[in-house]
Amino acid sequence: MTSQPLNDKVAVVTGGGRGLGRAMTLALAGAGAKVVATAARQWDESEAGAAHTGEDRVEPVLADVTRPEDCERVVKTALTRFGGLHLLVNNAGRGMKYVSETFLDQPTRFWETDPDTWRMIVDTNVNGPFHMARAALPTLLRQRWGRIVNISMNRSTMGRRGFSPYGPSKAALESETVIWARDLAGTGVTVNALLPGGATATGMIPEGASRKVKDTLLSPEIIAPPLLWLASDASDNFTGQRFDASRWRGREAPAWNIANAGSPAGCLDGTE
Q: Which positions are catalytic?
A: 166
**How deeply is 217 buried, as exposed, middle or buried, from its count of CB atoms within 10 A (0-12, 13-18, 19+)?**
middle
Calculate the alpha carbon distances from 138 to 76, 125, 126 in Å: 11, 22, 20
Angle between helices 166-183 and 128-143 (to 10 degrees): 20
Tell me, what amino acid is at 118? Answer: W
Instruction: Write the burial class of residue 271 (CB in 10 Å: 0-12 exposed, 13-18 middle, 19+ buried).
Output: exposed
